[in-house]
Amino acid sequence: MPLGGQAPRPAALGGAAMVASPHHLASATGLDVLRAGGSAVDACIAMNATLGVVYGHMCGPGGDVFAQVWDPRDGRLTAINGSGRAGEEVTIEAYAARGLVEIPARGVLAANTVPGAVDGWARLHERFGRIAWDRLFAEAIRLADTGAPISEAYREAAVELATELGTAVAGEGVPGGRAPGPGATLRQPDLAASLRLIAGGGPDPFYRGDLAARLVDGLRAAGGLLTRADFAAHRSDWVEPLRTTYRGLEVTELPPNTQGLATLLILNLIETVDVRALGDASPDLIHLFVEATKLAYEDRDRWVTDPDTLEVPYERLLSKDYAAERRALIDPGRAAHPGAPRGGAGEGDTVYLCAVDPDGMACSMIQSLYYELGSGFVAPGTGIVLQNRGCYFRLEPDHPNALAPRKRTFHTLIPAMALRDGRPVLLFGSMGGEGQPQTQATVLTRIVDVGLDVQAAIDAPRWRHGRRWGEARPAVALEGRISEATAAELRRRGHDVERVGPWSSEMGHAQAIAIDRDAGVLSGGADPRSDGSALGW
């Protein structure tokens, strides 16, 4: 893997182990776990638990998780789908009886799928963990109990949600019933107590015990639809990653119900083009990526849902012949105008994190509540914000992602890997909803085609095709560091172009670790658009 180029902040380098996450306190937690003898999976679980405290607007035990793990003991790559299913009473008819034609984005009716993260962590630890389960939650519990300085991103999310709902956010996210002020320290004793139950009892308290009862009873009292039986029935699934090749690398993603298929389709579409020759962030390059994204999303929107409800022709979709057929539809001089992608608009707020341990185990993990602060609902006494992922379901019975009991919804979360000769050389991913496949393709090609190191590839200006919050049609958002001449040329080709800030969170928070086995070097990068860091030794 070439590791050239310079960045304003250099890549973190190490020879033994590396972690990367979107918050520095979580990265420090992961590094501590590795130094204590933990595996890459242990480090990711500990980082994820800590992120649920210090970056709780984006993730936490009330959400879902997905991960890919490469195990050096057998040289095998595997993946886990830790997403929850809709409840037994969560039906199209239940929403129709309430006069609704779509699922609300916030509130208890949006919290209609069982959170899968805790079970996903437990199954990963059973298979790949090396240190005690309770050790993985120690720092998260300490920070929740004694308090942690709240990030500006967390503070802004609490303010925005309080405004959106017209009330204070439920639970501890707004101390004293108000959004936290700049520089505030956030104590979350209820969340600390819930994490202690999970640390002491594993997933059982969350799905079948006292914590499950409080979560469900709180939801039901407020008009929610999930039941105790829904929580008790939850299970994570081990799944086989989808794969394609790009410039001699094998790129892997989780299969549906995630949109990982879209990244692989984009890479297949652009593989025959000399990406480096087009020029980074040039009109030709952005046009190519946006048009490839549109085609990939047409297939994604047709096929990605709960795979138990739809047989997906993966072999055909991921073939190079199919990519050639689709590539012929791209006009290099003119933008196509397909309909807006299905589902909810907006970025989607998520944490991507990754780790490599001294034995070579690699873990690529992603976790989310979907929107910032998810449904906005916290069951009294739990401190756990419940996700609103189920609002992505559609209430049209003939839609591929139509709501049904015990069904998994379309998911944006996609942790990625790239391998050479069956061994990982890159772990990468990003938050960003519709933007995740686009950011993954951009970061990967900057490393593979342009030769940037992981930090420079993440730092460089990005773009994103899709809908922004509250807008009906998709546009191409360009970061402010991309020239106005480029914006003008894209408009001339028919793109609806919007400008955003020079380091906009709308572009996602990407993290990555590159593994150069020949040199014995690990290189980590964390997005300056987040509060993150990559750390190693």
Domain of 499, CATH number, reads 1.10.246.130
Assess whether 412 carries a catalytic annotation: no
Average pLDDT over residues 454-481: 87
Q: List the structure tokens of 443.
A: 């970061």
Beta bridge partners of 242: 253
Tell me, yes or no, whether 101 lies in a domain. Answer: no
Average pLDDT over residues 74-80: 97
Interstrand relation of 475-479 and 497-500 (parallel, antiparallel or unpaired): parallel
Q: How confident is the model at residue 166 (pLDDT cuts 50, 70, 90)?
A: low
Q: For residue 22, give the nearest of 357, 373, 524 by alpha carbon.
A: 524
Average pLDDT over residues 304-322: 94
Q: How confident is the model at residue 175 (pLDDT cuts 50, 70, 90)?
A: very low
Question: What contacts 447, CB < 8 A, 6 or more positions away?
Answer: 1, 2, 426, 453, 454, 457, 512, 514
pLDDT given at position 285 = 98
Average pLDDT over residues 123-139: 98
**Cα–Cα distance, 537 to 534 (Å, whole number):** 11
pLDDT given at position 345 = 43
Tell me, yes or no, whether 430 lies in a domain. Answer: yes
pLDDT at 320 over 90: yes
pLDDT digits (tens, 9 = 90+) for 342-391: 444 445 578 999 999 999 999 999 999 999 889 989 999 999 999 999 99
**Cα–Cα distance, 377 to 299 (Å, whole number):** 34
Pick the more confident residue, 372 or 477: 477
Tell me, yes or no, whether 504 lies in a domain. Answer: yes
Average pLDDT over residues 256-281: 96
Tell me, yes or no, whether 219 lies in a domain. Answer: no
In the chain, how many domains are there? 1
Tell me, yes or no, whether 72 lies in a domain. Answer: no
CA dihedral 86, 440, 67, 320 (to 10 degrees): 90
pLDDT given at position 473 = 74
Say which of 50, 244, 258, 350 is annotated catalytic.
Answer: 350
Q: How confident is the model at residue 182 (pLDDT cuts 50, 70, 90)?
A: low
Tell me, yes or no, whether 489 lies in a domain. Answer: yes
Give one DSSP letter per residue of 435-482, joined into a string.
GHHHHHHHHHHIIIII-B-HHHHHHS--EEEEPPTT-SS-EEEEETTS
pLDDT at 130 over 70: yes
pLDDT at 1 over 70: no
User: What is the domain extent for residue 455?
Assistant: 243-346+415-530
Q: For residue 8, give the nearest of 449, 532, 436, 525 by alpha carbon.
A: 525
**Cα–Cα distance, 520 to 537 (Å, whole number):** 12
**Cα–Cα distance, 397 to 507 (Å, whole number):** 33
pLDDT given at position 15 = 95
- Of the chain, the end-to-end C-alpha distance in Å amounts to 19
Q: How confident is the model at residue 470 (pLDDT cuts 50, 70, 90)?
A: low
Least confident of 20-24, 158-162, 252-256, 259-263: 158-162
Give one DSSP letter per residue of 481-527, joined into a string.
TS-HHHHHHHHHTT--EEEE-TT-GGG--EEEEEEETTTTEEEEEE-
Tell me, yes or no, whether 469 lies in a domain. Answer: yes
Q: How confident is the model at residue 279 (pLDDT cuts 50, 70, 90)?
A: very high
CA dihedral 70, 72, 74, 79 (to 10 degrees): -10
Length of the chain: 537
Confirm if 401 and 409 have CB atoms less than 8 A apart. Answer: yes
pLDDT given at position 347 = 52
Tell me, yes or no, whether 327 lies in a domain. Answer: yes
Average pLDDT of the residues of the chain: 92
pLDDT given at position 2 = 36
